[in-house]
């Protein structure tokens, strides 16, 4: 469990790659094109990460982080991600991204919809409810008071557990909120999305928000 | 180092908090640009927005009006949302202003914009977000290289040897790419060999140093060197005689802006601590007295090597007299301090 592939070299992707490198992981970064197109970018923005194509990056990784623009997720070939833990950090935020029909009307979280494309992957929703520069600034060692906690939703509790361990190495507490549907409790616009919480606070917030989903 | 300001034409407010007229906002903005020229500021940019609280929908119109009413100041958009506009028209409008001004002080800053309100307004599809920008910036740069113009793409009818006039007095216009600072955008600007303008609206501004390096090294890799490879910084800020006055003056507008965005985006109420953190070094808001602002601009220059720093002062309905005083102080008090500090380096 020591290689992480980050698909997307934008604000979120480069931040995730840097914190993964700091945490001692081997990191692959990829964008939509050839490896050569992002070599300089990787050298300067994510020193230590290997620039690859998305397919190669994913194939050789244990965990794949999706950090592409939401409306482009279908351009990512699901085949090399089959059997992998895939972290969906994407958000649908109509006031900012505009209305995307596919994400309207079904009452589903983005991850439930994205999971329909990556049918053979072990989908985990997390890292979506923290700003990209907070990811770097809010990290604290395990056990420090006030450490920030992130929510993790997945139908696959073993995958959730592995991602929890990864987030702990990154510098965050993490709580498994339950199956992927519970990720609706921390979608864009929710109190969890808008706030910053310690583990204890997040546990409380999740128990009310997840209970509200059931109603 | 050039100093200046930019604005989205923020609409002033009545004492009860309701918005005054959008026409008054544009008139105030025009007056502010003329004032900035009179006191000797180097640069003023107008950023395209299409909302009742930010009605500067037509930067080119204001640039043309100001071109006729000013003498020395460089005028630009900041940004023109080129994705949802016609590059032929945008070029013609700014080239017209260039002719009116006598030449040499009209620029275009093209960007994707920080909001998507122009898409439904002009009938564009957000699914084409990247493609629209990629093609339209290419067309704009093609037109700038010379006329007649031959160009083809998928987002707009092609041009087959058509004239695009008037031609700029000095042959071409400075065309910048304005970006919020992602790595791929910095690569794009470097690859195209155009100057880049970073909009820094939160977090420590020196975080942008690797992006500027990525931009410059990408440019060099593609054989672009010289004059056009340069960086400018657009940031929030306000200058007042004392730091405390600046903090007090800027704060109500900052709250208004965050409330508006919060309503739209479902954010919680703005938080004073966040304001104060951003308004002191190494935060992103250049709100302070002339010494403070000069020192922070020069500090950032050590990281980015930028050649121009310009501030958005009038957010959330700042009273006009505070805007005017801030423009004056930036030109007459901050500028000499910046020059002094830079010459010591
Ligand atoms: N802003 C935040 O604080 C925040 C926090 C958490 C989550 N998010 C979510 O994270 C997502 C990414 O946001 P961002 O701000 O990082 O976007 P961004 O800066 O626009 O970057 C997007 C990246 O994805 C790459 N990409 C596009 N298509 C691809 C493909 N088919 N395969 C691999 N890479 C591809 C792009 O590379 P090319 O240049 O090659 O196209 C680019 O590097 C969004 O859904 C956003 O809502 C944002």
Beta strand B106-111 with B196-200 is unpaired
Query: Around B229, how many Cα atoms within 13 Å sit in the side-chain half-sphere?
Result: 22
pLDDT band for B270, please (50, 70, 90 cuts): confident
CATH of the domain at A7: 3.40.50.720
What is the number of domains present in chain A? 1
Domain range for residue B100? 2-343
Please state, for a pLDDT cut of 70, what percent of chain B lies above it: 100
* Predicted pLDDT at B267: 76
**pLDDT on residue B290:** 98
Structure confidence by residue, pLDDT tens digits, B134-164: 999 999 999 999 999 999 999 999 999 999 9
- In this predicted structure, the answer to whether residue B264 has a pLDDT above a threshold of 80 is no
Residue B323 maps to which CATH number?
3.20.20.30
Q: pLDDT category, A100, cuts 50, 70, 90?
A: confident
Q: What is the pLDDT of residues A200-214, one digit of tens each?
A: 999 999 999 999 987
Does the structure show a pLDDT above 80 at B109? Answer: yes
Closest ligand 1 atom to residue A37 Cα is 40
pLDDT of A215 higher than 80: no
Yes or no, beta carbons of A133 and B203 under 8 Å apart: yes
Residue appearing with tokens 């906690």: A149
* pLDDT of A35 above 70: yes
Judge whether residue B57 has pLDDT over 90.
Answer: yes
Residue B262 has pLDDT above 90, yes or no: no
Give the Cα separation of B280 and A2 in Å (integer): 40
Q: Which residue of A has its CA nearest to B211?
A: A45
Confidence of residue B199 (pLDDT cuts 50, 70, 90): very high
Q: How far is CA A77 from the centre of its chain?
A: 17
Residue A89 buriedness (CB in 10 A; 0-12 / 13-18 / 19+):
buried
Residue positions counted in chain B? 345
Stretch (H or E) spanning A87: strand A85-88
Residue B125: half-sphere exposure toward Cβ, Cα within 13 Å: 7
Nearest-by-Cβ selection for B214 from A11, A44, A99 = A44
Taking the C-alpha atoms of residue B255 and residue B270, their distance in angstroms, rounded to an integer, is: 6
Q: What is the C-alpha separation between B179 and B173, in angstroms, rounded?
A: 19
- Is B278 at the interface with chain A, CB within 8 A? no
Q: Which helix (H) or strand (E) holds A42?
A: helix A39-45
For A45, the closest of B119, B183, B221 (CB atoms) is B183
Return residues 159-218 of B near A (CB < 8 Å).
Answer: 181-184, 187, 202-203, 207, 210-211, 213-214, 217-218
Question: Residue B218: its pLDDT value, please?
Answer: 98
Asked whether the beta carbons of residue A45 and residue B203 sit closer than 8 angstroms, the reply is no
What is the count of structural domains for chain B? 1
Q: Does B277 touch chain A (CB under 8 A)?
A: no
Q: Is the pLDDT of residue B83 over 90?
A: yes
* Furthest C-alpha separation in chain B: 59
Q: B59-69 and B22-39 helices cross at what angle (nearest 10)?
A: 40
What pLDDT score does A1 carry? 62
Contact B119 A98 (CB under 8 A): yes
Q: Which residue in chain A is spatially nearest to B219 when comparing CA positions? A: A40
Question: Which whole-number Å values give the CA distances from B325 to B240, B241, B290, B331, in the listed order?
Answer: 7, 9, 12, 10
- What is the model's pTM? 0.94
Residue B268 has pLDDT above 80, yes or no: no
Q: How much is the pLDDT for B127? A: 85
Q: How far is B168 from chain A (nearest CA, A)?
A: 34
Round to whole Å and give the CA distance between A40 and B217.
8
Average pLDDT over residues A16-26: 98
Nearest Cβ partner of A10 from B115, B116, B184? B184
Exposure string of B152-174, with b = 16+ CB inside 10 Å and e = fewer, is ebeeeeebeeeebeebbbeeebb
CA-to-CA distance for A126 and A177, rounded, in angstroms? 10
Q: Which of B183, B204, B219, B258 to mutate to test the interface with A (most CBs of A within 10 A)?
A: B183
Q: Which domain holds residue A166?
A: 3-214
Cβ atoms of A65 and A16 within 8 Å: the answer is yes
């Amino acid at each position: 469990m020591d290689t992480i592939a980050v698909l997307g070299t934008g604000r979120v992707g480069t931040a995730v790659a840097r914190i993964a490198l700091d945490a001692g992981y081997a990191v692959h970064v990829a964008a939509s094109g050839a490896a050569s197109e992002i070599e300089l970018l990787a050298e300067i923005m994510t020193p230590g990460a290997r620039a690859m194509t998305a397919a190669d990056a994913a194939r050789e990784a244990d965990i794949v982080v999706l950090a592409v623009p939401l409306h482009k997720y279908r351009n990512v070939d699901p085949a090399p991600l089959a059997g992998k833990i895939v972290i969906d950090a994407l958000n649908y935020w109509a006031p900012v991204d505009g209305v995307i029909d596919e994400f309207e009307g079904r009452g589903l979280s983005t991850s439930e919809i994205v999971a329909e494309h990556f049918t053979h992957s072990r989908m985990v929703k997390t890292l979506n409810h923290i700003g990209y520069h907070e990811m770097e600034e809010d990290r604290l060692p395990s056990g420090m008071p006030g450490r920030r906690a992130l929510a993790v939703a997945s139908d696959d509790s073993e995958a959730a557990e592995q991602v929890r361990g990864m987030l702990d190495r990154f510098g965050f507490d993490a709580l498994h909120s339950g199956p992927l549907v519970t990720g609706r409790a921390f979608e864009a616009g929710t109190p969890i999305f808008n706030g910053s919480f310690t583990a204890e606070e997040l546990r409380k917030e999740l128990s009310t928000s997840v209970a509200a989903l059931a109603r | 180092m050039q100093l200046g300001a930019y604005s989205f034409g923020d609409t002033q407010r009545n004492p009860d908090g309701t918005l005054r007229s959008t026409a008054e906002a544009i008139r105030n903005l025009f007056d502010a640009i003329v004032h900035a020229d009179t006191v000797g500021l180097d640069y003023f940019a107008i950023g395209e927005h299409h909302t009742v609280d930010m009605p500067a929908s037509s930067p080119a119109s204001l640039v043309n009006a100001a071109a006729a009413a000013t003498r020395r100041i460089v005028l630009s958009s900041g940004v023109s949302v080129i994705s949802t506009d016609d590059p032929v028209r945008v070029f013609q409008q700014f080239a017209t202003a260039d002719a009116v001004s006598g030449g040499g002080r009209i620029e275009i800053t093209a960007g994707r914009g920080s909001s998507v309100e122009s898409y439904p307004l002009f009938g564009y599809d957000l699914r084409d977000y990247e493609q629209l920008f990629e093609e339209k910036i290419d067309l704009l740069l093609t037109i700038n290289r010379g006329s007649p113009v031959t160009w083809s793409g998928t987002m707009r009818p092609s041009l087959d040897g058509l004239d695009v006039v008037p031609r700029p007095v000095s042959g071409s216009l400075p065309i910048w790419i304005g970006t919020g600072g992602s790595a791929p955008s910095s690569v794009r600007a470097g690859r195209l060999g155009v100057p880049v303008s970073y909009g820094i609206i939160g977090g420590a501004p020196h975080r942008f140093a690797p992006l500027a390096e990525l931009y410059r090294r990408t440019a060099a890799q593609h054989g672009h060197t010289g004059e056009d490879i340069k960086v400018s910084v657009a940031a929030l800020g306000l200058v007042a005689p004392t730091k405390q006055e600046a903090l007090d003056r800027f704060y109500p507008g900052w709250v208004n802006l965050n409330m508006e965005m919060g309503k739209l985006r479902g954010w919680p109420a703005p938080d004073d601590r966040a304001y104060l953190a951003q308004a002191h070094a190494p935060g992103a808001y250049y709100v302070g007295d002339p010494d403070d602002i000069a020192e922070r601009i020069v500090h950032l220059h050590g990281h980015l090597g930028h050649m121009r720093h310009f501030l958005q002062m009038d957010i959330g309905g700042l009273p006009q007299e505070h805007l005017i005083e801030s423009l004056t102080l930036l030109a007459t008090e901050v500028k000499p301090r910046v020059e002094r500090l830079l010459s010591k380096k």
